Structure 1
Amino acid sequence: MSWLWVIIVGLVLGLIARAIIPGKQHIPLWLTIVCGILGSFLGNAVAGWIGVAETRGVDWIRHLLQLIGAIVVVFLAERLWHVVRGSKDKRGSRQRA
């Protein structure tokens, strides 16, 4: 798989994951793509562990596992992004006040 396809799959999975997670995620697009890519790799690893990585036809289970992986990674990244960016914003607002 070329890097272009990895980025496209990461973008698609990341955007779908953001749409599924309730509420608005305040993470940039580049982080959404990275989360989608990581979720794809995580889903592929789980598919390999449970023995459904290679099936005939469309690998629906593998794709579902990739999406679940992307949802988990986007959720965790959004929380971490909020903690990191939130702490910087709080310090900045205290200095201005």
Structure 2
Amino acid sequence: MIGTIIASLVGGLIIGLLGKFIAPGDRDNIPLWLTIVCGIAGMFIGSYLYAALYDCSDMNNCTNGVDWWRHVWQIVVAAILVVIASGLTGRSTHTGHSRRA
């Protein structure tokens, strides 16, 4: 149980950061905890979508080796969630100072 929680947090951090990296635009305006939440949700939703589309009976074991396509789905879903979270939080990296020449 505790191992599953730790694996979800570490995996969520990695998948969330990769999702933030490939998300279009400047998406560094969401906090780290929200990136982890997007990564964890991306892991679960991406795995479910991959298993449903490729007709895998076991969501965690669609191939005999490393299932790279499942990870690609997870990262893409996490990137979409990062974009959504960035739009919903409304945090801006703009400091309000303008320089006029």
TM-score by length of 1: 0.78
CA positional deviation for 1:24: 2.4
Q: As a proportion of its length, which structure holds more helix?
A: 1
* 1:4-62 CA distance string (max 9 Å, x none): 01000100111111111233221000000000000111101101211254111111111
The 5-angstrom pairing of residues 4-15 of structure 1 reads: 4-15=6-17
Q: 1:57 aligns with which of 56, 59, 65?
A: 65
Moved over 3 A (4+): none
Identity %: 40
Give the CA RMSD over aligned residues: 1.6
Counterpart-to-counterpart distance in 2, 1:79 and 1:69: 16
SS in 2 for 1:14: helix
Pairing 1:8-87 to 2, within 5 Å after superposition = 8-25=10-27, 26-50=29-53, 51-52=55-56, 53=59, 54-82=62-90
- Name stretches of at least 5 consecutive residues in structure 2 with no aligned partner: 93-101
Task: State the distance in 2 between where 1:57 and 1:16 align.
Answer: 22
Higher relative contact order (CA 8 A, sep 6+): 2
Give the TM-score normalised by the residue count of structure 2: 0.75
Residues matched between the structures, number:
84
